[in-house]
Amino acid sequence: MKGPKKILLLSLTLSLVMASLCSTGWASDYFGKDDPVAQGWSALDLLVARPLGVAAAVVGSGVFVLGLPFTATVDIVSASSGSPAHAISGSARMFILSPLKFSFVREFPDENI
């Protein structure tokens, strides 16, 4: 029984050591601003990501309306206990405002997408 445990422990230790030696990223920019690949990502951002953000806001507003009775209940119960939770504004921010900010407020072209 000691043999398989020893082999397992040795292989786990070896894999952790090897994983710690791997590099996690590039040291410099991989693509420049004038690179055609970067321009392709900008087109993908404009034609795919931003419309998906608007669609997510539409779906999110439906989810917000469906969950509104529950979040209102949380707000009422927390306000009666003395510490308001602001659940309605938090869920509106998460389901509606965040996707709309993703679509309309970000600068174009976005370097972080």
pLDDT class for 56, splitting at 50, 70, 90?
very high
18: region left, alpha or beta (phi > 0 left; psi from -120 to 50 alpha): alpha
Higher-pLDDT residue of 43, 36: 43
- Tokens representing residue 23 in the block: 């590099």
Task: Please name the residues in contact with 3: beta carbons below 8 A apart, sequence gap of 6 or more.
Answer: none
Are 61 and 95 a contacting pair, CB within 8 Å? yes
% of the chain at pLDDT higher than 70: 80
Residue by residue, DSSP assigns 53-91 as HHHHHHHHHHHHHHHHHHHHHHHHHHHHHT----HHHHH
Q: What is the pLDDT of residues 57-112, one digit of tens each?
A: 999 999 999 999 999 999 899 888 887 788 899 999 999 999 999 889 887 776 66
Higher-pLDDT residue of 30, 56: 56
